[in-house]
Each structure stands twice: as C-alpha cells, then as structure tokens.
Structure 1
Amino acid sequence: MTEANPRTTTAAGMAPWVAAFDYAVDAWQRSILFWDVLRQRGNQYREHMAKQAPHVLQFQGELVLDGRTLPRPVNYVLAKITPPADVLVSSKARPFVIVDPRAGHGPGIGGFKADSEIGVALKAGHPCYFVGFLPNPVPGQTIPDIMVAEAAFLERVIALHPEAEGRPVIVGNCQAGWAMMLVAATRPELCGPLIVAGSPLSYWAGVRGVNPMRYTGGFLGGSWLTALAGDLGHGVFDGAALVQNFESLNPANTLWSKQYDLYAKIDSEGPRYLGFERWWGGHVLLNAEEVQWIVDNLFVGNRLASAEIVTEDGVRIDLRNIRSPIVCFCSKGDNITPPPQALGWILDLYGSVEDIRANGQTIVYAVHESVGHLGIFVSGSVARKEHQEFASNIDLIDCLPPGLYEAVLTPLAAGTDPKGLVSGDYIARFEARDLDDIRALGGNDLADERAFAAVARLSEVNLGLYRTFVQPWLRPMTTEQSAELLRWLNPLRLPYELLADDNPLVAPVAAMAEWVRENRRPAAADNPFLAAQELVSQQIEAALEGYRVWRDGVAEASFYAIYGSPLVQALLGLRASDAPPRARPGRDPAELAFVRERIEMLRTGMTEGGLREAVVRALLHIGLPAKAADERSFAMIRKIREEQEQGVPLPAFKALVRDQFLMLLLDEKRAIASLPELIRGRETEARAAFPLVEQVARAHGELGEEAEARLQRIGEIFDAARGEGSGKTGQRRPGAAAE
C-alpha cells in the first residue's frame, strides 16, 4: 500500500461546514483503505498458510535436521541461519540456538526483525541456529518426544562446532523457555547458558489484583475442557484457542485499539499491521495429548518447580539438575508471564542463596519495567538493549560463580569507558541478590497456594468424570471433517478466511481502494472533527478498560471465595492444618554425599595449583565486597587472554573461577593465607602477575575502601612471595600474563 500525502494543510479559519465536509471525505476514504488492508490480510493469511513450512523469519537459513526423520518423529526442525553479507561470525564463538514458542502461533518471532534475538546474536559474532516447527503435529507425538528431538538438535549443533568455546547458548521464548528447561534438566551436558524470555515456570504465582490469567483453570473446573476440545478436534487441539486466551486479557486492545490505530493512521500503519498479523494469524495445531500434558502438569498442576513431573521413560524432571547458567528475562508489564511466574520457581526449589551455591547453579534475572509479553522477544529496543547485552556478555555470564544475580544495565556515559572495554551502549553489571529480592516482586502466601491446590484436586476429579462418562461416546461421534469445520468457524480464524478476494463481496474493495489512493484527501491535522474522533476513541478504550478491571476484580474475588473456602478445600481433601500443598523437593542422598565430598575436596585443594589459581583467587577476593561482576573487568581478562600464546580455554577458566570462589566462601581467611604457597617457586612469573591483577581490578573504575585495602593486601602477599616485601602497589609495569 502506498503512502498518501501527509496532512500539511490547516483547518484554521475554515467554516464549520467545510471542516465537516473535509472530515467526512477523509473518514470515508480511510474506511475504504481500512477494509482494503483487511482484504490484504486475508489474502496474506491464505498465502501464508498454504506454505509447507510457514514462518515469519526475516533471515535466510538452511535445513540441518528434520524432526520427522528421527526415531521418535516430531514436527520440529533445526535450521542454520545464514549471516547477512556484512556480518562475520567466528568458528570459535559458541553457537546460539533460538527456540520459538509453539503456543498457538507459527514460528519466526525470534527473528521477526533485523533487531531481534537472532540479529543481535549474529552481530555479536556467534553462529546462529533456529528451532521452528510445522503447522501440523506428527500423529502421536508427545512432549517427551519433543524433548528427545530438541536434545538431538543440540547434539547436531555441538558436532558442527567442534572448535567452539563452550556448549550452545539456548534462547527459549515463552513456551519454548520451559520446554528447553526440561531438556536442560534431563540432558545438562548438552547445554550452555539458557536465556528464557517471558517464560512461565511457576504457574500459580502472581500478585492479587494484577495477574488474572492464573485463575482461568479454576473457572473452567480444571483440565477437562482441554480434553473436550481435543476430542472435538478429532485428537487435534486448535492453537487458536490458546490465542483467544491471550486476546481476552486486554479487551480494549482486542476489540478496539488495534483496529482503531490502523483506521486512524491508515496512510502509514498498513505495512506494520500486515507484518504483525502474518504472525498473529498464523495459528498452528497441536496434538490433544501434548496440550493435556501441558495443562495437567504445568498450568493447573504446577508440578515443574516442585520436581513432581516424571516422563514416560521414568525420568524425574528436576530443574536443580541444570548445570549451565540460567538467565530469566521478564517484565512488570507482561500480563501473560508476570515476574512471579517467571521467577517463583527459584523460591519453590531453594531455601536460600546458599542452597543455590551448594547446588552449583548460577541464576541471573532481569526485570523490565514496562514492556509487554510480546515485546520481550519482539521489540527492537529490547533487542538492542537486553538481548544485545546478554549476547555480548554470554561468556561472562557463563563464568559467574554460583549464586543469584540481577542483570543491571546502565547507559554508557561519555568518559566512562576510556579503555574501550564496553561492546554496546550499556554497561552490564551482574549484582548479587538474595531470595528476598525475588519475594519483593510478589507471590503467593500459604492461603493462595491452598486455593490453587484445590483447583488441581478438582481438575483431577472432573477429568476423571469426563473420561469415564463422556469421552467414550463423544470420540466416536467426531470426524476429521467435523473437526475441520469447527476450526474454520473459530472466531479468530473466520475474519481471515472471509475477508479475502475469494469472497465476491470483498473483491471490489481493491479497485475502490486504488481509486482512493489516487485521489486521497486527508483532513487537516487540526480539523476539530479529528479531535472529536480521538476523544470518542479514548472514551471507548477507557470504557473497555474499566470493564476489564471490573471483570478481573470479580473473577479474582470469586476465585478465592470458592477455592479459598475451608468447606470446598475439605471436600477436596485439603485441611488448613496440613503442611504446604507443594513442599520444596528434597535432595537425593547420593547428591548430598557428593556435595560433602566436594566441600572436602575444595578445603584440601586450597594449597593446590599455581600462579593461575592465585591470580583468580586474588581477583575474586578483591571483588567480593562489591558483590557484583562488571563486564569491563571481564573484558580486560579476555583481552589479556587473547594476548597470550596459549590462553586457558573458556570451560577450564569457568571451572577455575567456580572452584576459587567456593574456596573463598568456605574459608576466606585460609584461602588468602594459602596464596604464598601457590606463588612459591614461580617468582619470575609473579613479577608480571600482580600488575595484571591490579589492571583487571581497576578496569571498571575506582575501587571502594574495602576493595582498595584488599588490593593492597594482595600486593603485599605477591611482593613477599617474590622476596621484595615492598608492599607498594600500582608501581609495576604490566608484563606477560601468567594466566
């Protein structure tokens, strides 16, 4: 659609009837153009859905592995993204694997724009792969089958990059985030850092008055309706039903704002609207068994964060088995996956940060203040900030010592990076946090947990009743033809199907729109009737928003009145005097024995090693008071590593950092007192080592008082080991690093 002339005229001094006439012509023309865009949308939909593998990727790629060829076939595929001509990727850089959500829409949203998760990964020099899916599932495929396939994809990526420094980085959006967490928990050896964006992991969690979607299972009586939808679909679940849930969250946008914005800005909004609708209207299908597993185990059962899920192969899924860093990116503006649902699993699994460290896990979280759910992995501004910083600092994230951190991104001000250590427009710091920081974002109390546990119990009862008394006679009555008719009549699909050139009532709109574009007469920007139109729109939007607030308030109050009732809970087998309905999962005795053995190894290993261990331990000791890792310090370490003929491989460096950090946590006084034993016999190398320690320690700016004192003490230890005993720091010329 071509753009019309901008509204450069003015209505000042016009007679009212002239302004009214101009507005009437403009409104009529905009109406024709509006319906023409909807006609284009219908044609686009039909063309898009007719493709064998419809997607919205803006990048070219080549098929690497087709999941339909695997021993347990699925409709997923692995593709390698072809970098643009002006982008160079390194064979040593660890590959990124972007996994798109299969939650009703088709694939490609992770590479929907140039500024996207795929775009920033390529720009950072990483080879990039994309995991997508076909619109129709393989008959009989299950969630465990998909887990096996995704593990096979990772195995293939690893085999294709033998020189890469580390395992692949996995980016999972929304549904794909929890799906890849399942894979990482069962096959931890295949995974590098995991970035889960807008992904729900603790499904009951939320804040009263803010997160209404979590109450849906209660009002539906559990998952029996999911089984009914699958049976009516002849064993197939229509993804459009999932999209309807998203649409219902914001009636003001769904019923009015989205269409009004197109109408009001019809001269410029068409291409953007059509681009988004190509993805939003590309609904896919899922097997009924897949959706039933998801609803029973996750959305209603909430079994993931309590390690209650056992696969059909007998494997218990425990997120504590994940050994690579986990980055959880969420937003306070996300009404689909609010921060409590994205981060509550940490509280479900761990009683303290010490538990996280004892498990050897590194968890990083980032909370955006306002962006919506789709913006987390679609917004160009988010891609240029958060995702770019994650990609640029992925090696730093991988080397963070075990613990809980928050990613804090500060705009790069002039003069704050004189050494050129920052790769982007922001300075990334990973600051240590406590579980109380997660609790401060909101969550459930014990009464809330019991109410949701009551829903889970009722769901099991209703599902059993449905399967016993309804399913046996309903399934034989459905056919593929009846299921296809129901899908065609879906209120989300029908507008796409009807408003296309195949409809003889719509076809003439194209000719009318072409004439309007040639004779476009937009009203003046200050036309009073345009202002009145905008005012009416705002009132309609406010009314719909008011309805939403009332609806959500009534729904929440009703939910707790029903499922918070002691009588209802008692009928469902719950008592107020019982323990919490979801206890924190216990630890395997063998794992506890391993932890004890590991602690003893660390204690006895404090005097083992050499100058490399001494330098890393010294740097960690200096940085402990700040309780943060700054990308500038790590960039300085990387720069020093690159200058060496034989630098330490990244996996070995990561293990070194973790061991030395844990030694400091176990007994910091003894760990520092042991430094001379590590340096002894390496006096020549030590002459060059301390200036490099100081260079790295000061890379991010001035040190605090305590850190400065620690640096001074480390200088004295290095001097004493060299037999100098000067105790002076900052006077030595940096030489070759001993790393």
Structure 2
Amino acid sequence: MRRRGNICIEHEKAGQPPVLVFKYETVVDGRTLDRPANYALVRIVPPAEHPTDPVKRPIVVIDPRAGHGPGVAGSKIASEIGIALRSRHPCYFVMFFSKPCSGQTIESVTRAEAVFLEKVNELHPHAEGKPFVIGNCQGGWALMILAAVAPELFGPILLAGSPVSYWAGVEGENPMRYSGGLLGGSWLSSFASDLGNGIFDGSYLVRNFENLNPSNTLWGKQYNLYSKIDTEAERFLDFEKWWGGYFYLNKQEIEWIVQNLFVGNKLSANQVTSADGKTIVNLYNIRSPIVVFASWGDNITPPQQALNWIPDLYRSVDEIRAHEQTIIYCLHEKAGHLGIFVSAAVADREYTELITAVDLIDALPPGLYEAIIEDTKPDMPHHELIDGRYLVRFEMRTIEDILALGDGRAHERPFEVVKRVAEINQGLYDTFLSPWVQAMSNKMTAYWWRMLQPDRLQRYMCSDMNPAMWPLRAVAEIVRKQRKPVSSDNPFLELEGHVSERIMDSLNTYRDTRDAWCERIFKLIYESPWMASMVGLKGGSAQQGAPRYEDWLRNELERLKKLENESFIEQGDLLEAAVRMLLYQDRDIQVVDERPFRLAQQLIREAPADERPTLAQLKQALKRQWFILLMDEERAINALPKLLPDPDRRALALELVYRIATARTGKLEDSQQVRFRKIEEILGVSISSDQTPPLRMM
C-alpha cells in the first residue's frame, strides 16, 4: 500500500501520462485546435520484430474517459494495441489529459476526434480500407456519435463493452441502471461539479464501480494480493496505477453525458443534437460495419445495454439490409467489464480474430450476424487458410435473437418517468440551489474537496507523504528476506481460506440484499401511475425507439434503390458474375466462414495486375449482388450469360466459385449442389466435382 501511494503521487507529478507499455509519439494535440479539447492522437511505435505493413488499414483505439486515465487498451503486450501491432497494422491511440480545457464540451471532443481521423486517413492514402476504429466502454458511444456525423472517415467500428441503450438490462441482475432514478436524476452530478468549482472529479465514477462489488472492494482484492504476495504484488501495482489515476471533466461535459445518455437514453432514439441544433446524431447515417463485443460476466455494460439499440433502430433484418448496414455481435461467456479490455485471454482470442478478420467484416453483405469463435481442429478442411489457433465464423441472426438475450423490454418503461423527474429536479437545482453552491465554491475549496475524497486520501495517507510510513520500507525489506511460507496443508492456512470465503459470502449477501431492495424501491416509485401522472405521463407510455422515416419517404428510397440495382442485373464483369454465383449457391447457408474469404483473397493476389480487384471493388460487388438476388433471384441467375459471354470466362468463373464454396467443408452441401448445377445449366458449362479442378489464371 505504501508503494501504491508513492506510485500514485509520482504518476501525478509526471502529468499522469497513459499507462501504455508501448512507445508512442504525438501526431495531433487537441489542445492546439481552434476548439481545444484535452485529447491527443498518438502513433504507437511498432516494435522491431513487428514492422508496420503500409498497405494494411490503420487501427485506431479510443479509450474510455470514465474517471480513469487512458492506456488500459495497451497496458499489456497481450492487448488490443498489442494484437494490432502483431498483425502489422499501423496503430494509433486517442489519449486524453487529466484536466479539461476551459469551456470544453462533448462537442469539442467530437470535433477533435474527427480531426484525428482525418489525419489518420491523410497519413495512409494507399491503405486497403479506411481505419478500423475501436471504442472501449465510454469511448464506444463517442465513436458512435462521430461515425454518425462523419461516416466518410471510417472503416469498420468495434464497440467493446460500450453502453448505447442505457435503460436496458435484466430484472434482478443489473442494479446500476436504477441509480439515476434513486438519486433523483442528473442534479447530483451538477452539484458535485459546482462543489469542484466547475470541475467534476472522476473519483466519483470510480467509486460507483467499486460499490457494485463490495466483497471485492473491501476484502477480495486485498486478500488476493496478500495471499499471493510473492507473485501478485507487481500486477496489483501496475493495475492500481491506472485504477487510482483520477481524471476530471468539465461540468458541461458530465451534465451532457448524464442528461443525454445515462438518464435521457437519447442516443439510440436519434435525439442527440449539436449545441446549435443544426446537427442531429442520426445512427442511421453510419455506413461502416458495426461490431459489438459484450460479455455475460459484465455487470457494468450487460449485453442488453450493448445490443438493444439495434431493435431500437430496426424492426427487422430487412430494415437493416435496406439501410445497407452490417451489424455483428460477439458475446463472451464470463469476462468482467475490465476483463474485456485487460484480459490477455480475451486479447489472444476475441481481439485477435476480430482484427485479423477486419477485411472480411468490411466485405460482409448487409445484415445481422453473430461472430462465433472456436478452436481449430487438425482435420478441418483447408486448415492452411486459418490464421492462428482459432476459427471465426459469422452466423446470420434476426432482431428476435437480440430480444431473446433479455427478459423483455416492458421493465424499461419506468425509465421514461425517471427521465421526466430528472428534468424537473435539474431545473429546480439550476434555479434555486446551484447559484448558492457556486457562490460558496472557489479554487481553494475545490482543491481541498478533491484532496479529501476517501479513495484519493487513502493513497496519500499510505505513502511516504505520511511520516508514519517511513519505517515501513526498512521493516518490509527485513520481513521479505526472512519470510518462510507455510506448507499448503497447514491447518491455519486452510482456516484462513475458509474465513476469507465466509467474509466474501457475507459481503455478497449484503450486496444482493441491497440490490434487491434498490430495485424494489425503484419499482415502487417509478412504476406507480401516480408518479407518472404527476410528471405529465400517461400510464405505460415510454420511448419506443428511434423516430423512423415517413412511410412515403422510405418507400421512395426503396423504389430508387430498386431501380438502381435493376440496371445492374444484366451488366457486370467477371467479379460481379462470380460474386453473384457465390452468393446464390450460398443462399441457404446461414454461415459466413473466414476460410472462403481467405481463399478468395489468395486468388485475387494471384490474378494479373490489370484484372486484380481492390477490396473496395469486392465490397461494392458483394453488396450490389446481394441486393440484386434479394430483389429478383431468378432473373439475376438467368442473366449470368450476359455478364459472361465468353465460354472461357464462364468456366473460369465456375472454377473460382467452386473452389471458394468448398473451402469451408471441403465439398458442396446438398443445397449448394442443387444451386451449383442450375448455374452450370444456365451457363452451358460443367466442371467435375470429383476433385478440385486446376485453376487457370484470371
């Protein structure tokens, strides 16, 4: 604890730099922009053993600004940044400084991040695809906002443990969502900011996380440290350097976050607007594939909060496809919230597969998919096409599959009442109490208020700032040298373990009882029709997702899109024809595997330079042919001879399709056989299915 306190003080004196284990260099400092923000874009310097491939798309990681400092995404070699470097991608990191700029708002931050993305695109004009951007936790909603207002800057985006639908959850399991209602809304964050002279202390947010699991906070973390003191100390100190590095937000920032997101839940309803009201954050505008990574073990951002924005926006998969959107979700079985970012096992499995499959993700036809990651087996067909020890496949899903992950959405209705109560309380606070609190606050009172926060004070008191701790260094060294661990079967050691378990059980019982009562009190207050009537709401009324386009406008857009696609039914080259055939014979297969795509990439690289399609051309062909087949499958297939008038090109296209189609299982499945034979009949060309035919160059 003494060492932890000293490390905390040294980190503060150094300006609290990111806790990255990688070297980095600043590319753009957001504090120098026209609308300054305490953010910066840094380039991660690649290690000598993994030089950057300039052709690969850059990867940008945005860390959460939720009380802690930046760097958790690269605090270990096995991390998001580490996996990106190992895959030879140019890697950038969006960091932030401890204190916000004067007058800084969330809009200032968004504009700064847009400048960062523009710079990354400018630095990599020859990359095959635009940047793959990862938003961790609170960085995820910031990423969604930016991708909605500046979609042209992005390749695929990954939301890791990111809350987007804030009222969602499962009854009896997600108590954190009730805190806004039980505290009366957003006024308390304004009160804390006024006490801080216009600055909100991030230690409040950290304390909220700590309160979720008192058994770990009050006992488990410390017991784990001291019971494994020979091996756990350095890991503990490394983590606490980040966990105890508290950062600050402006009052305007925290108010915007709480009022618009945590309590207001406006993001998935497309109700977030710019300060001047001219820009609406419309999530329908996102053109990039969206990957959502969540975990069943996450009690801060449960899967429902990470995914329920999808049914908020779209009534069916057909609507997702009509908007030309691709959405993928990946669910981990047990990783906790922090484990999503810091677990080496998660990095080596989930992030490795998602990063290596980014080009496939970018090329997937519009729709909703679940990413399934499994161990490879030696007898898997085309094992040589699998990069690493895991195989990733994308299985088609429906909106009903998303809703089935929860227990319904009727219990979200009281949060509309919470939202209205919060607005009333905020108005009362701003009018009657805030002026008095601001009048009593100044830089000196704000400084001492922050210094006396329990979490921060604990670190100072257990450091060399306290003279009573000075003898501990010498004493600890003596104990360390003379310590004799007892044997594993020592009865007192066993008794210690049993006592620790009982303490943990008692604290868990307290937590469960507390959470159950919080939920009951919340329901008693906000499910009451009396409360709804008092704030001007009818019983049962609730926000019903995002506002949708008028039917006539949606129908007109669909009509124009249909006309555009119809013009391409009888037009195209070898690429368009091969993609159409491949999608057609896979129509009954609800799985997209990485092996066919890897083989397709290999075949493209082997093609003559003048006929070699780019990733952008492949992506466009996949989307266009997917819509053409959805629109009129029979006409599309019968038009293939017009796309391939040359018999040699027809045979070549068939060979390409056959090879790619059999890369997953080693043979054509029954439904594929039927469709493949129909293509052969239409083209008047047949190839042998007894063995893979030799492929002629394109």
Per the TM alignment, residue 444 of structure 1 is displaced from its structure 2 partner at its CA by 4.6
Residue 615, structure 1, aligned to residue 578, structure 2: yes
1:21 equivalent in structure 2: none
Residue 705, structure 1, aligned to residue 659, structure 2: no
2:159 equivalent in structure 1: 196
Counterpart contact for 1:340–1:443, Cα < 8 Å:
no
Stretch moving more, 339-348 or 601-610: 601-610
**How has the CA–CA distance of structure 1 residues 618 and 703 changed in structure 2, closer, same or farther, with 3 Å as cutoff?**
same
2:549 equivalent in structure 1: 587
Residue 268, structure 1, aligned to residue 231, structure 2: yes
Unaligned 5+ segments in structure 2 are none
Deviations 1:693-719 (A, max 9, x none): 11100001143211122122223333x
1:174-323 alignment runs, 5 A limit = 174-313=137-276, 314-323=278-287
CA distance in 2, matches of 1:699, 1:716: 23
Rg larger in 1 or in 2? 1
Extract structure 1 runs of 4+ deviating beyond 4 A: 588-592, 725-732
Residue 69, structure 1, aligned to residue 32, structure 2: yes
CA distance in 1, matches of 2:686, 2:693: 15
Counterpart contact for 2:577–2:653, Cα < 8 Å:
no
Counterpart contact for 1:207–1:442, Cα < 8 Å:
yes
SS of alignment partner, residue 606 of structure 1: coil
Counterpart contact for 2:16–2:69, Cα < 8 Å:
no
CA distance in 1, matches of 2:515, 2:195: 29
**How has the CA–CA distance of structure 1 residues 737 and 351 changed in structure 2, closer, same or farther, with 3 Å as cutoff?**
farther
Q: 2:641 aligns with which of 673, 676, 679?
A: 676
Deviations 1:88-133 (A, max 9, x none): 2211100000111000000000101111001111111211000000
CA distance in 2, matches of 1:691, 1:74: 55
Counterpart contact for 2:395–2:590, Cα < 8 Å:
yes
Per the TM alignment, residue 283 of structure 1 is displaced from its structure 2 partner at its CA by 0.8
Per the TM alignment, residue 595 of structure 1 is displaced from its structure 2 partner at its CA by 3.4
CA distance in 2, matches of 1:592, 1:54: 52
1:430 equivalent in structure 2: 394
Counterpart contact for 1:688–1:733, Cα < 8 Å:
no
Per the TM alignment, residue 627 of structure 1 is displaced from its structure 2 partner at its CA by 1.4
Counterpart contact for 1:96–1:168, Cα < 8 Å:
yes
1:11 equivalent in structure 2: none
Deviations 1:396-448 (A, max 9, x none): 000000000000111001121545101121111001000111011105533x2
CA distance in 2, matches of 1:533, 1:565: 48
For residue 58 of structure 2, what is the amino acid of its counterpart?
P
SS of alignment partner, residue 119 of structure 1: helix
For residue 547 of structure 2, what is the amino acid of its counterpart?
P
**How has the CA–CA distance of structure 1 residues 193 and 726 changed in structure 2, closer, same or farther, with 3 Å as cutoff?**
closer
Q: 1:407 aligns with which of 371, 375, 384?
A: 371
CA distance in 2, matches of 1:269, 1:383: 21
Q: 1:112 aligns with which of 75, 91, 94?
A: 75
1:624-643 alignment runs, 5 A limit = 624-643=587-606
Number of residue-to-residue matches in the alignment:
693
Deviations 1:551-576 (A, max 9, x none): 11111111111100011111111112
1:18 equivalent in structure 2: none
Residue 521, structure 1, aligned to residue 481, structure 2: no
Residue 483, structure 1, aligned to residue 483, structure 2: no
For residue 582 of structure 2, what is the amino acid of its counterpart?
L
For residue 673 of structure 1, what is the amino acid of its counterpart?
N
SS of alignment partner, residue 85 of structure 1: coil
**How has the CA–CA distance of structure 1 residues 577 and 518 changed in structure 2, closer, same or farther, with 3 Å as cutoff?**
closer
2:347 equivalent in structure 1: 383
Counterpart contact for 2:22–2:74, Cα < 8 Å:
yes
SS of alignment partner, residue 484 of structure 1: helix
1:29 equivalent in structure 2: none
1:517-666 alignment runs, 5 A limit = 517-576=480-539, 578=541, 580-587=542-549, 593-646=556-609, 647-666=612-631
Counterpart contact for 2:382–2:663, Cα < 8 Å:
no
Unaligned 5+ segments in structure 1 are 1-37
Q: 1:439 aligns with which of 384, 388, 403?
A: 403
Counterpart contact for 1:222–1:459, Cα < 8 Å:
yes
Counterpart contact for 2:651–2:686, Cα < 8 Å:
no
CA distance in 1, matches of 2:75, 2:335: 17
Per the TM alignment, residue 603 of structure 1 is displaced from its structure 2 partner at its CA by 2.1
Deviations 1:525-544 (A, max 9, x none): 21100100110000000000
1:735 equivalent in structure 2: 695
Residue 145, structure 1, aligned to residue 105, structure 2: no
Per the TM alignment, residue 450 of structure 1 is displaced from its structure 2 partner at its CA by 2.4
For residue 65 of structure 2, what is the amino acid of its counterpart?
R
SS of alignment partner, residue 420 of structure 1: helix
CA distance in 1, matches of 2:77, 2:381: 27
Counterpart contact for 2:313–2:545, Cα < 8 Å:
no
Counterpart contact for 2:413–2:540, Cα < 8 Å:
no
Query: What is the identity percentage for the equivalent residue pairs of Structure 1 and Structure 2?
Result: 47
Counterpart contact for 1:236–1:286, Cα < 8 Å:
yes
CA distance in 2, matches of 1:535, 1:564: 42
SS of alignment partner, residue 391 of structure 2: strand
SS of alignment partner, residue 555 of structure 1: helix
1:23-172 alignment runs, 5 A limit = 38-172=1-135
2:357 equivalent in structure 1: 393
CA distance in 2, matches of 1:592, 1:150: 35
Per the TM alignment, residue 737 of structure 1 is displaced from its structure 2 partner at its CA by 4.6
Structure 1 length normalisation: TM-score? 0.92
Deviations 1:611-632 (A, max 9, x none): 2211000011112211121000
CA distance in 2, matches of 1:145, 1:591: 33
